[in-house]
Structures are given as C-alpha cells and as structure tokens.
Structure 1
C-alpha cells in the first residue's frame, strides 16, 4: 500500500518511461514543454473582464504531468530563452524583451511559474493528479503560489498605495478558475486513457 509521501509515477513517465532514455528524453521533453509555454503565452482568448492567455494553464499542467524536477527544468529553459532575448513571453517583443522585460511588472509571475511547477509536480508525485477533486486542489495550490510573488512584486515596483490587487489579481480570477476547471478534467482523463491503453 502506498503512503501519502510515496513518490508515484508522473503522467509523462507513464506515457514515456525514463528507463534507458536518460538525458535525451529529458532534453526533448523540456524543449517541447518550453515551446508549449511559448505558444500558450501567445494565445489570447477573449474573456471577461480581461482577455486571457493559456500560460498559467500550461505551467500548471506541465508541472503536474512532468513532475517537480523536469517541470522546473522546462520552465527554467523557457525563462532562459526569454532572458536571452527570444520573444517567448506574452506581449513580446512589443512590450520589450530579455532581462528588461523580466524585471518589469510581470517579473514576479515568472518566478511564480517556477514555484507553481514545483508544487504541482510534487503533489502529482503524491498521487494528487489521479482524481478530479485532488487535481483541482493541487491546481488551486499551484495557482496561489504562482500569483503570490506576482502580486508582491507589483507592490514592490509600484507601492502598496496603488490598487495592486485590482491590477494583478482580481481581473484574472474568473479566467484562472476556468482554466483550473479545464485542467482538473483533462489531467485525470489523460490518466484514464493511459490506464485503458495498458489493458
């Protein structure tokens, strides 16, 4: 019987075993994941009260599917691409590129991507990604961890006398809830598909 702290296989390891693949598998998955993060940053979905990208969805799903180590490595590769000046972030190159963009208003959220991928990957390795409710709980935890440094960085940059929550949190809550609901359905369904393929 597996205890609550037992490390369990991640979704990606169930699809593509790490046995014998080593660094090449990790490199391929990290590159593919970084490309997905770039694409998700560029997808602008009409929504209320503000349009949304699919990036937080991609960060949380990659974290859960890849696990904490590969998930963080993937997000770190994506951030490194941005730091080198590639237009991988939302609003780039129009809003700037490279390190200048990364220390701007969205910088805290970029740090949050790393933290959220770690948290979601850790919880996935503890089996939180197998059912609807535990997946949803893991996604909520990941989203809180993602937004916390983002909002704190806005406060540092602009001062807490400004409407920081109205700038960096409340307009996005409905969109985040929608994306989390989608991810909470998709991830357990993916596990179900993997299990059915094995039988």
Structure 2
C-alpha cells in the first residue's frame, strides 16, 4: 500500500505563482493540512514496530509537510530527487500575468498539457521518465510526500493511465490518496 500526499498549501499557492523547484513556506492552513493528514494516516496505518518508509521530495515545502505528518506517524524519511516538482525554468516564482508581460501573450501557460514546456524548464516526458524510474523501485508500504503534477504522474503510473488522462487527475492538499493494486482512493483528512 502506498499513501500519496501533496504538500500543504504554500504562500505561493495562494498567490497563484509557479513554484516548480523554487520554494515558498507553508501557510497556517498548509501546516494544519499536514497535521490533519498525519493524524489520518496514523489512524489508518496504526501502531508499527518500525517507522514507515516515507519517500519525500527534497524541496522545503514537502520536507516541512513530512515533518508535520511525522509528529503523528513515525516515519523513516528517504529524500528522492525524482519526486521534485516539474522545473518551470524561467517561469518559477512568476504568476500568469508576470509571464504574459515578460514573455508575451503567445505563451502557452498550461502545465496540464502534455506538450507544455516553460522556457528553460523540463518537458513532461522528462519528468515522467524520472518518476517512472523511481516508481519501478518503490517499496510498499510507504508514504509519499510530493507535489501536484508529480502526484498526478504517480497515480497515473499506478493505474496504468495514458499521458493525457494522468494530467486530468484531481489534486488535493486536504487528504491523501491510497494506492493499492492499481486502485486509487482519496481519503480526506478531517
């Protein structure tokens, strides 16, 4: 069983900025989300002799989320660079309006389009390749703490979805996804 978590809300989430591999701190709501997810995971997984393995993107917002989850659920954290968010190149830290004013109105600003690539950033094919390599060796049971687009790709791989289908999957910061035997179930964190 894999338990997939998107990091809690960040300041840049509230400002609609492209974070990519840049970082911004968790908001009060983001810290609350991570705390509630930790309690929900602890309730589901229960007491363990050994801490559960946690695959965590090395970016600050995911590490902060994992730390808060770890207050309720003992975890053995393994930082996995392959789980970092898509690199948005020259667009990192910018809003859509910033991008349009700096790069022109002919820019395709749709990171949920498989052909998307920000100037100086990664393609989704490149990102999927790094996620696939990690996924092929991931050991269950484990908690995974990552990002919105990466969450979609991991779930898509788990369910055997095509590229376009992966990008339509919902993302949430108010719960976790339970991945088991090709099935995916969202579990809200009350």
Asked if these proteins are the same fold (TM beyond 0.5), I'd say no
Q: TM-score range by the shorter chain?
A: 0.3 to 0.5
Q: Which has the higher contact order (CA 8 A, sep 6+)?
A: 2
TM-score normalised by length of structure 2: 0.33
TM-score normalised by length of structure 1: 0.32
